[in-house]
Amino acid sequence: MTRNEVGKLRYTIFPSRIGPLGLAATDRGICRLTMNADRGTFGIELETRYRCAAVDDDRSFGNERAMLEEYFQGKTKRFDCPLHFVEGTDFQRQVWHALRRIPYGQVRSYAWVAREIGHPRAVRAVGGANGRNPIAILVPCHRVIRSDGGLGGFGAGPEVKRALLRIEGVILAK
């Protein structure tokens, strides 16, 4: 990734129902949402990952913050902010775009995602791509579960995945 791919990078960190969230954006859209973000290290992590300067800019994220706060209150069911995938392989990006087609309040299996992107045997690779999703929540990787109905993995932990699904009215038996 080159400096030109990212351009200007802004970020903010704010409290949420599931802990501090870090949002980062280029001029084209949100490129990262990190759970349990730390103000002391988030900017440095962004600069290292994207090889550019990152500016702490809380004022630039009013709409996105409001949308996420409404989501946590169960009021927002769709995120309309622009996204900018500046990382990931073509395969990972296919997976992330498929995740965005999973409706609010519903879950799909890793196998469903694999079939959806035309790679039905790539279930494990889908799980890997899901785990590398740079824009969690807005790209709803939490809506993907195991074929047997089990929770499956989640970078922020199973409790957070269950909490996000509960917000959407999904209660899993397993």
In a domain, 77, yes or no: no
Q: What is the pLDDT of residue 5?
A: 67
Q: Quick one: 65 and 115 in the same domain? A: no
Report pTM. 0.92
Q: Any idea which residues carry the catalytic annotation?
A: 141
Residue 134 tokens, joined: 């740079």
* Mean pLDDT for the stretch of residues 132-147: 97
* DSSP H or E run through 108: strand 108-109
In a domain, 78, yes or no: no
Residue 38 vs residues 41, 42, 72, 152: alpha-carbon distances, Å: 6, 6, 20, 26
- Tens of pLDDT, residue by residue over 1-37, are 444 467 789 999 999 999 999 999 999 999 999 999 9
In a domain, 172, yes or no: no
Q: What is the pLDDT of residue 172?
A: 85
In a domain, 111, yes or no: yes
Using DSSP bridges, classify how beta strands 9-14 and 54-56 pair: parallel, antiparallel or unpaired.
parallel
In a domain, 41, yes or no: yes
Amino acid at 93: R
In a domain, 84, yes or no: no
Cα 40 to Cα 21: distance, rounded to the nearest angstrom? 13
Q: What CATH number did the domain enclosing 68 receive?
A: 3.30.160.70
Q: Which domain holds residue 13?
A: 3-72
Q: Quick one: 161 and 98 in the same domain? A: yes
- Tens of pLDDT, residue by residue over 85-102, are 999 999 999 999 999 999
In a domain, 83, yes or no: no
Q: Quick one: 160 and 112 in the same domain? A: yes
Report the Cα 79 to chain-centroid distance in Å. Answer: 11
Q: Quick one: 68 and 136 in the same domain? A: no
Tell whether the model's pLDDT for residue 123 goes beyond 80.
yes
How many distinct structural domains can be found in the chain? Answer: 2
Tell whether the model's pLDDT for residue 140 goes beyond 90.
yes
* Mean pLDDT for the stretch of residues 105-129: 97
% of the chain at pLDDT higher than 90: 90
